[in-house]
């Protein structure tokens, strides 16, 4: 970039760990160019990605072309949007025009969409530069990231462990300094679980906050799209860009731009009513994880909050989650079960979800509707008394990379695949916004996340609380070391 102001520019690794807000500031002040930023990230991806397999597709030529356009606009003093020149990754279940989108499935191994998803449109319009696609379990079905097309995504803090799922590639990329921002989606915890495992920040917004377009299930309130980052400020910035109404989504919410970034500036928590919910009486929690998250919850006392140990009654939520999960999978895939090639190529876990869903009757669905309503009334009344609810994000730290899912916690067997993710899934069932923030490390050096939950459509208060916690217990400067790890 010509005529750059004379200031010291950061080295490559330092640059790759700068917050998006800082990168934006440096670009606007002409301290560093979008081209230099993109080249730095592409170089780091080339070095680090073979170890962890966070990106499944990288588009260096397209990214550099976009960066040059962004640089030209800066030099000509053209319009500069919210994410002008900032790199971002897109999960491999989200449509990207001209960029391979496999859904982690052999069925779509060579599929190249001719359109962008709405969230990608909005990111591009804001000036973001797409570096590539991040790995996901097949059809985003699972809490650990692996598939037959690209294999396992490994945890940057220790590649012998999994990155979580289903936005595991996104979380691993952020943690490893392979991009400041990532797009993902969350059904039962798919943004929050990998954020916890990888020591980054993942936000599940309220249904409709970020409209899912196109969508085969337009009225679906369970699967939502959202942002992932290393800092709360960056998360708020990205949420402002991707949120807002769209008539193609009948559940989309009104615009609340500028409210989210405003919420994280000078957050003040005095007098907030905070509940520590622990295991919500839903699942065992690993002893070390419980100790770390309980200690983190006490930080809110230092923030002048009123903290009590209290949890809502979540009776019936597990059955409700299973029935609605079954309904979703039957809606999406039942017509394909007769296709022998589809069944032979697809992960048996996906097929099992469909088959389990087909076992439920209309009476089961009716019961789930009633149970969800009862749950809502109880939990909504709880939030009349408390502003925030805290829990461990996941009841365990990251598990070994090749493990599909844990079968026991503290010696207690998990009866069902989703048992171990009920601390996140419970809030998906109710459509409440929730965020996972890093709050400590196990003795093995694996990150642990604290989940913060707010009342309906309470993203602003959620971001305020997370920003206050981040300020009191900063984590963004801690980075994984790849020394001693061989390329796999």
For 317, the token pair is 């939520």
| DSSP bridge pairs for 145 | none
| DSSP bridge pairs for 154 | 162
| DSSP bridge pairs for 452 | 390, 435
Marked catalytic residue, from 144, 190, 243, 252: 190
What 3-state DSSP class applies to 206? coil
What is the spatial distance between Cα 312 and Cα 168, in angstroms, rounded to a whole number? 29
What is the spatial distance between Cα 370 and Cα 63, in angstroms, rounded to a whole number? 49
Residue 210 DSSP label: S
Which has the closest alpha carbon to 311: 277, 279, 334?
Answer: 277
Break the chain down into helix, strand, coil percent, rounded to 5: 40, 15, 45
What is the spatial distance between Cα 287 and Cα 276, in angstroms, rounded to a whole number? 16
436 included as an active-site residue: no
Residues 309, 312, 318, 321, CA torsion sign: negative
Helix (H) or strand (E) holding 281, with range, is none
Whether residue 58 contacts residue 131, with contact meaning beta carbons closer than 8 Å, is answered with yes
> Phi/psi at 372 (nearest 5 deg)?
-65, -35
Which has the closest alpha carbon to 403: 168, 94, 178?
Answer: 168
Whether residue 383 contacts residue 427, with contact meaning beta carbons closer than 8 Å, is answered with no
Marked catalytic residue, from 163, 166, 167, 436: 166
For 31, the token pair is 């301290």
Which has the closest alpha carbon to 325: 292, 293, 352, 290?
Answer: 352
166 included as an active-site residue: yes
Q: How far is CA 342 from CA 210, 333, 336, in A?
A: 31, 10, 7
For 435, the token pair is 């965020």
What is the spatial distance between Cα 6 and Cα 485, in angstroms, rounded to a whole number? 38
Marked catalytic residue, from 33, 89, 91, 105: 91
CB-based burial, 68-100: b 16+ in 10 Å, e otherwise: eebbebbeeeeeebbbbbbbbbbbbbbbbeebb
Q: Which residue matches tokens 């029935």?
A: 323
For 97, the token pair is 């025009």
Q: What angle do helix axes 317-333 and 348-358 make, rounded to 10 degrees? A: 110
Q: Which residues are catalytic?
A: 91, 166, 190
């Amino acid at each position: 970039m010509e005529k750059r102001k004379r200031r010291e520019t950061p080295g490559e690794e330092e640059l790759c760990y700068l917050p998006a807000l800082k990168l934006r500031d440096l670009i606007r002040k002409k301290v560093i160019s979008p081209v230099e930023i993109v080249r730095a990230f592409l170089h780091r991806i080339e070095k680090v990605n073979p170890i962890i397999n966070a990106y499944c597709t990288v588009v260096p030529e397209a990214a550099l072309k976009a960066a040059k356009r962004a640089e030209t606009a800066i030099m000509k003093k053209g319009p500069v949007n919210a994410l002008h020149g900032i790199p971002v990754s897109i999960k491999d279940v989200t449509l990207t025009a001209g960029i391979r989108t496999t859904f982690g499935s052999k069925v779509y191994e060579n599929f190249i969409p001719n359109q962008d998803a709405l969230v990608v449109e909005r990111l591009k319009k804001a000036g973001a530069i797409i570096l590539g696609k991040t790995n996901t379990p097949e059809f985003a079905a699972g809490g650990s990231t692996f598939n037959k097309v690209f294999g396992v995504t490994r945890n940057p803090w220790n590649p012998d462990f999994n990155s979580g799922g289903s936005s595991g590639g996104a979380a691993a990329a952020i943690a490893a300094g392979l991009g400041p921002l990532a797009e993902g989606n969350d059904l039962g915890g798919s943004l929050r679980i990998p954020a916890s495992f990888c020591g980054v920040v993942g936000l599940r917004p309220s249904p409709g906050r970020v409209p899912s377009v196109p969508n085969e299930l337009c009225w679906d309130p369970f699967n939502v799209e959202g942002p992932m980052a290393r800092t709360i400020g960056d998360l708020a910035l990205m949420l402002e860009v991707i949120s807002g109404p769209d008539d193609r989504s009948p559940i989309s919410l009104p615009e609340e731009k500028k409210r989210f970034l405003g919420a994280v500036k000078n957050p003040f928590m005095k007098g907030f009513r905070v509940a520590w919910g622990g295991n919500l009486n839903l699942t065992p929690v690993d002893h070390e994880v419980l100790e770390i998250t309980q200690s983190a919850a006490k930080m809110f006392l230092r923030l002048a909050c009123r903290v009590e140990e209290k949890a809502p009654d979540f009776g019936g939520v597990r059955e409700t989650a299973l029935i609605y999960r079954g309904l979703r999978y039957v809606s999406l895939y039942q017509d394909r079960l007769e296709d022998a090639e589809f069944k032979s190529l697809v992960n048996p876990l996906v097929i099992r979800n469909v088959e389990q869903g087909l076992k439920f009757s209309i009476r089961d669905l009716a019961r789930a509707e009633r149970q969800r309503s009862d749950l809502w009334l109880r939990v909504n009344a709880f939030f009349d008394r408390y502003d925030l609810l805290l829990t461990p994000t996941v009841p365990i730290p990251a598990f070994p990379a090749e493990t599909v899912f844990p079968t026991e916690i503290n010696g207690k067997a998990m009866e069902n695949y989703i048992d171990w993710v009920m601390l996140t899934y419970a809030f998906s069932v109710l459509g409440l916004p929730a965020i996972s923030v890093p709050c400590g490390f196990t003795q093995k050096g694996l990150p642990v996340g604290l989940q913060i939950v707010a009342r309906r459509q309470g993203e602003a208060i959620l971001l305020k609380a997370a920003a206050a916690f981040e300020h009191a217990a900063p984590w963004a400067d801690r980075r994984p070391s790849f020394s001693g790890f061989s390329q796999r």
